[in-house]
Homo-oligomer: A and B are copies of this chain.
Amino acid sequence: MIPLILYDIPSKLDGTYWSDNITKSRFVLGYKGLPFQVEWVELPDIAPRMKEIGARPNKLADGEEMYTLPVLSDPNTGALVTDSWEIAEYLEKTYPEKPIFSNKSKGLIYAFGNAVISLILPAAKFPIFRASQILNERSAEYYITTRQVMFKVKISEFSPEGPTRDEHWAIIERAFNTYKEWYDEEVGKWLMGDVISYADIFIGSILSWLKRVLHDNEWEKIVNWHDGKWGKLLADVEKECKKV
């Protein structure tokens, strides 16, 4: 089998990867035991590089198009897939062993992802601010410029210490309280009990992102919630998905 190619965004961090959406694809590839190589693309190079290889842009909520990563190239089939959800679907269909959407759970897991994001999104400016500090210079500049336009506020105002930062922490803690309630509904390590699914990979990717972009003492705060559940869950997902 020829290794697949995952297009990812580098950073200054040890191991380089950091983006939650790209980590989702990384975890699915790892879980299914598929060999892959990474091609690193700095943020301002994504559009030209993706046009070059013929990847399609992503459709944003407002209907506009934008070149985003992850993109996955599979030389075994010729497929070139944009977007973490579509990549998950493609891999499940093409390599059905070790399913991530078992028992017809794809629609439920899609809604689950929406629910996860809607709870944490109001605090996203805090980890986004932190992410702007771990990118390589060219990407950081591009990231800051585009995010300032997106949120209509200067990067220094994204999550200033004080009441704004406190509010972001309160939102993140409430989100994890709710995630905990969901996990408590079934007995077992995973959301669906004894078998990992894309729902756990989704949460694991957000945890990985927070661990990577936040400062160590900030991540420790999350790890201390719910008797260490989230640090343990991330370790379980990483183990199951053979993080490279």
| Residues A105 and B107 in contact, CB atoms below 8 Å apart | no
In the complex, A66→B239 CA distance in Å? 44
| Residues A107 and B191 in contact, CB atoms below 8 Å apart | yes
The number of chain A residues with a CB under 8 A from chain B is 30
Contact with B along A53-88 (1 / 0, CB 8 A): 000000000000000000000000000000000000
Question: Is A90 at the interface (CB under 8 A from chain B)?
Answer: no
Contact with B along A85-122 (1 / 0, CB 8 A): 00000000000000000111111111110111011000
A interface SS class: helix
Q: A107-B182, A111-B112 are known; give 14 further A-B pairs, CB within 8 A.
A: A102-B103, A103-B192, A104-B188, A104-B193, A107-B185, A107-B192, A108-B109, A108-B182, A108-B199, A110-B181, A111-B115, A111-B116, A112-B115, A114-B119
